[in-house]
């Protein structure tokens, strides 16, 4: 960060007829700084106020764009967005993240013999199984309706789950 001083101002002012020095800078402001450097120095005044304003501006623009996108949705879809945000604000959200991370790192879970205990548990829970199989069937139908399957597996399941929440708002 340049410090403004007598020597610094004279350096940027360029040489006079009696001195030999750097070439004359064509654009400078009255303090001796070129305009591009003055913009850098002035924005960082008062210990980073300019940086804080820049962060605030980015956040405000993001919020404005997000609000416009949400307002463009139909009313039932806005309810779904509100439910998603509400779900992420509950204390259950970190537990869900930990559960996903645990299953993602379970060694051998891709082999059928690892599913025996899960299979036994699923066999006795008919209500949950109906929901699971409806979800899987909806994923299969979604992939069948796509001309090209560009959805990843997690994206497909997310779309179906969001569609279920939308269906509960207005079937």
Could you list the residue range(s) of the whole structural domain that residue 38 is in? Answer: 1-72
Residues 56-113 have pLDDT tens digits of: 889 999 999 999 999 999 999 999 999 999 988 989 888 888 888 887 777 788 888 8
Cα angle 84-89-91, degrees, rounded to a multiple of 5: 120
Same domain for 52 and 113, yes or no, is: no
Q: Quote the pTM value.
A: 0.57
Contacts 24+ apart (CB under 8 A), 71-76: 76/166, 76/169, 76/170
Check residue 24 and report its DSSP letter: P
Same domain for 79 and 156, yes or no, is: yes
Residue 116 and residue 102: Cα distance in Å, rounded? 18
Residues 6 or more apart from 70 whose CB is under 8 A from it?
Answer: 78, 81
Same domain for 87 and 141, yes or no, is: yes
Same domain for 43 and 114, yes or no, is: no
37 closest CA partner among 45, 26, 47, 29? 29
């Amino acid at each position: 960060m340049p410090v403004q001083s007598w020597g610094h101002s004279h350096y940027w002012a360029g040489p006079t007829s009696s001195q030999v020095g750097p070439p004359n800078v064509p654009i400078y402001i009255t303090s001796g700084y070129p305009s591009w450097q003055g913009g850098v120095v002035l924005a960082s005044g008062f210990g980073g106020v300019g940086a804080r304003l820049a962060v605030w501006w980015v956040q405000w623009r993001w919020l404005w764009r997000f609000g416009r996108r949400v307002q463009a949705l139909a009313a039932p879809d806005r309810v779904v967005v509100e439910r998603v945000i509400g779900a992420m604000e509950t204390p259950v959200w970190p537990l869900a993240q930990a559960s996903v991370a645990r299953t993602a790192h379970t060694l051998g879970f891709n082999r059928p013999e690892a599913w025996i205990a899960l299979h036994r548990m699923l066999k006795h829970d008919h209500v949950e199984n109906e929901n699971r199989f409806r979800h899987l069937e909806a994923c299969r139908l979604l992939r069948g309706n796509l001309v090209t399957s560009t959805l990843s597996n997690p994206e497909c399941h997310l779309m179906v789950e969001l569609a279920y929440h939308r269906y509960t708002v207005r079937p």
